[in-house]
Each structure stands twice: as C-alpha cells, then as structure tokens.
Structure 1
C-alpha cells in the first residue's frame, strides 16, 4: 500500500540507496522496482554508445519546497519559455509563481517525490568544460544530446519507461526526465489533490496561496497524469 506520506515526498523509508556508477560519490534514492529497471536500460544505452548518468532521482517535499522558494526569492534562476534566465523581481507574487511552474513542480505535486522518476544525461556526450543545463535545447538536432534524444524515443518503452513532460500542456518540455511507468502509475492512483493542498497550505511563504490556486486547476499537468 502506498501511503499519503510517500506520495507527497514526506516518507522515504521504502526507497533504496543506489549509485548510477560505482566510481561516483553521489548516492541516490529511488523506488526499488524503478531502480532495478534502470539497469537494463543503462546497459542497452551503453551498448549503443551512451554513458547514462543521473542528475536527480528522488526529491523530498522539503527539497522541492526549497527549490521553489529559492526561485521565488531570486536565489535560483527562473527560465522563460525560450529557456533563458529571466528577471522576475518586478513581477507580482502571482506572476512569479506562473513563471516558476513552467519548469518546476509545486512541492507536493512533483513526480520526483515518488522515487520512480529520474533526470538523466549522457556524460560522454557532454562537451568538456560544459556545465549540464537540463534544457530542451541540449536535445535539439545539432546539439550534443540529440543522439541521446533519438535513442530514448526508440528505447524507453522497451524497458518500461516514458517521458511524462512532453510540453503539450502547461509544463515545459523535459526530454531528460524519464519515469518508470508501471510503478509511477501506482503512485498517481494514490495521489489525492486534497492531501497535497492541505499540506502545502500549512506553510506561510507568500507564494503558497498562489501555488495552491494554480495547483487546483493544473495538478494533472504538474504530476504528469
């Protein structure tokens, strides 16, 4: 049984620690079934010339809250529809929220809470000295992750994964975000809008009321349902 706390990223006790590469120091958290499914996908990717690494796996409610709060307060960049950093300092609190949610889920409404979703990239395709952006332009034809994009389009389904954020709704296109569909669907089935809204409403940050109003009508987009 999947609990409310697990769905909202408040309980990681059922997740497992793992590394995407024994040589890396980064220890990640993920759903056991999803992590197991990564192995065959990564092995096949390697056979096809891609050394897949994970930029982000499980993310708790509080981690997502800090990301959102930092963006609201100008401590992290906010990207516009063209994936360029924008100045939101002169915007109203409501407008700031509307800009942030393009590429950042509201805490309590992130698939990263499930442990079934991962942000990935091919380390061997990232140009030397280039910082990873996690932007769609990195996957466009002529860019360094384009071959990875083509591979993922053809391979993900075979290993039980999909890319939930296609850019066809209010959320931006995220070609780097993959989800282990079978287990993610179990979390989505256990998601309850009222639970997420109630927990988020217990915080007093100025952006919270606007995030709540947005989530009421866009929650399916946020969680990729």
Structure 2
C-alpha cells in the first residue's frame, strides 16, 4: 500500500472529530427533512455543507491525479425536489396498473420518501467517473463491476474514500435490507452520523402525515416502522451513530 501520511493524518482528525463531536453540528428539524435555508457551498454542479465540500474537493483533486474525473450526479436535494421525484414515479407506476402499495414498494427500492432522504442533509453525494464514457443511465450497479465503465473509479474509492471521510451508504452486504446496493452514493461521515442521530429522534409517522404525500394513505404505523428499520437505519454500519 502507498505511504499516504497526509491522508492518514486527515483520517485521524476525522475520527477524533467524530468521537468528540467537534464536527457533528446539530440541524434544525426543518433542515433534517429538506426544508429551511441550509448553509451550503455550491460549485461544479453540486451543493454540500462547507466541511463536506472541502473534503470532497480534496478527494476529487487526488482522484484527478489518477485519471479519474468525478462527475456529480446528485448532491443536496431539498424536499420539493425529492417530492417531484416521488410524484413522477408514483404517477407512472400507478398509471401502469400497480396498486398504491405496490407502487410505493417499487419506488423505495432506490428512492426515498420525501422528508426522509439523506440527500436533504448536504452530506451525501452520488458520483461517477466522467472519464468512464458510459452511455445511458449512469446509476446502474453493473457499470461499477466487471469490465464496466466505472470499475477504475470504484477501485479508487474503495481504497481512498474513507481517508477523506466519505463512506458508501448502501453496501452490497447480502444481509442488508432496505434500499438496493448503490455503489455511487457516498456520505460524509463526520457530519452525517450526527444528523442521523438527530433524525432518529423525529416522529417519522407524524412528519410524513403532515406532508400529505401521494400514496400517504399507505403509510401505516407498520409500514413506517419497517421503512425506518430497513431503509433509514439498515445502512453501512460505519455510518450509524
């Protein structure tokens, strides 16, 4: 393994921040659910919280030296943006004949219910390699494996992402439930762990009922309990409080 003293020091600092809470600033409840007026750095096609943006830029520069060009597919998404995704999919699936319950089940294979997305926090980002020259939908797991266009990107991230505080959220652990495997979705741990700790204290049932989402009649207490356990909390253990 290469000698990376700077990155090792950076990793130690990140771990110390997590342990002693220096980085885990609390958020107002409205920002936890994608509303309010967050403080973001916005450039090069992404929005992130300043600390997460700084680490991302350092990681991006290091990857560029290895011939990898980070392409941001998605970063911060506010509530309204997530709701547009939700409504588009819900309308399409029910128009195809799916019941509301089956439509929701299909949506939450990859997409979150508005108000529950990690992308609301400004700590999570979907990225690929622009030098992969991929065609069609970029966010397909097979493109990150075998001879896929993003294999070099994935190998680099597997080795280096944690040095910058970024961790894969939805891993390919066969025992994990909830959202499907997403080799493109990374979270900035020094902030997101604290935000998840805050989010766990919210009454998700009440939050979702207040929003009056399409299909919300299906959000029974049993559904919410299962969604919270599997989709919100069954993630990479490194990102759990």
TM bin, normalised by shorter chain, reads: 0.7 to 0.9
Q: Does 1:34 align with 2:52?
A: yes
User: Helix, strand or coil for the counterpart of 1:118?
Assistant: strand
Mapped partners of 2:132, 2:33: distance in 1: 34
Q: TM-score, normalised by structure 2?
A: 0.78
Cα RMSD (Å): 2.0
Q: Kindly tell me: are residues 175 and 212 of structure 1, through their superposed partners in 2, closer, same or farther at Cα, counting changes over 3 Å?
A: farther
Corresponding position of 1:183: 191
Instruction: Report the alpha carbon displacement of residue 12 of structure 1 after superposing the two structures with TM.
Output: 3.2
Aligned residues: 205
Mapped partners of 2:29, 2:165: distance in 1: 25
Mapped partners of 1:185, 1:208: distance in 2: 28
Corresponding position of 1:199: 207
Instruction: Report the alpha carbon displacement of residue 18 of structure 1 after superposing the two structures with TM.
Output: 2.2
Mapped partners of 2:203, 2:43: distance in 1: 29
Matches within 5 A, 1:32-111: 32-74=50-92, 89-111=96-118
Mapped partners of 1:147, 1:170: distance in 2: 27
Residue by residue, what CA displacement relative to the aligned partner does 1:59-116 show, whole Å, maximum 9, x if unpaired?
Answer: 0112111101110101xxx7xxxxxxxx972221111101110000111111100000
Matches within 5 A, 1:109-124: 109-124=116-131
Mapped partners of 1:190, 1:134: distance in 2: 29
Instruction: Report the alpha carbon displacement of residue 217 of structure 1 after superposing the two structures with TM.
Output: 1.9
Mapped partners of 1:205, 1:16: distance in 2: 30
Mapped partners of 1:46, 1:190: distance in 2: 35
Larger radius of gyration: 2
Residue by residue, what CA displacement relative to the aligned partner does 1:114-141 show, whole Å, maximum 9, x if unpaired?
Answer: 00000001101124xx234311111121
Mapped partners of 1:95, 1:184: distance in 2: 30
Mapped partners of 2:112, 2:213: distance in 1: 16
Residue by residue, what CA displacement relative to the aligned partner does 1:117-169 show, whole Å, maximum 9, x if unpaired?
Answer: 00001101124xx2343111111211111111111111111111100111421
User: Helix, strand or coil for the counterpart of 2:147?
Assistant: coil
Mapped partners of 1:106, 1:30: distance in 2: 21
Q: TM-score, normalised by structure 1?
A: 0.83
Q: Kindly tell me: are residues 29 and 8 of structure 1, through their superposed partners in 2, closer, same or farther at Cα, counting changes over 3 Å?
A: same
1:143 aligned to which of 142, 145, 148: 148
Q: Please state which structure has a larger fraction of its residues in helix.
A: 2
Corresponding position of 1:153: 158
Mapped partners of 1:150, 1:62: distance in 2: 34
Q: 2:74–2:125: 8 Å Cα contact kept in structure 1?
A: yes
